[in-house]
Amino acid sequence: MTRAVILFGHGSRDPLWRAPMDAVAERVAAQGLPVRCAFLELQPPDLATAAAELAEGGATQLTIVPMFLGMGRHAREDLPRLVQDLQRLRPGLQVHVRPAVGEDPRVLELLASIAGA
């Protein structure tokens, strides 16, 4: 199986907003994993497009990482609906959705360290 990663964010009209996500994507790619950023709204690509690119490149297993501080409405409601749509379009693709990155204890510890510095 070929595993790939999608970093999923909200999106913004400001193109500079995505720079940190692109930086994370570069680091994931340096680990040898195919990776794409995808956005809920306001900028391309959307989740379906990013998944199609990865699947066409040979990915059979997809990990979606919500790049949110918490599991708000977009991560709880919008993302599961998009994943269901994706699985209908690509039934052979195994899709795993991680919790929001901001809920990972390692991220919380790092944020606390930055805030307290």
How confident is the model over 88-111, as pLDDT tens digits? 988 889 999 999 999 999 999 999
**What is the model's pLDDT at position 51?**
96
CA distances from 99 to 44, 54, 58, 69, 87 (A): 22, 21, 25, 10, 18
15-42: average pLDDT: 94
Catalytic residue among 5, 7, 10, 82: 10
**What is the model's pLDDT at position 1?**
61
Which domains does the chain show, CATH number per domain?
A: 3-116 (3.40.50.1400)
Tokens found for residue 70: 């918490």
Catalytic residue flag (residue 10):
yes
Residue 71 has pLDDT above 80, yes or no: no
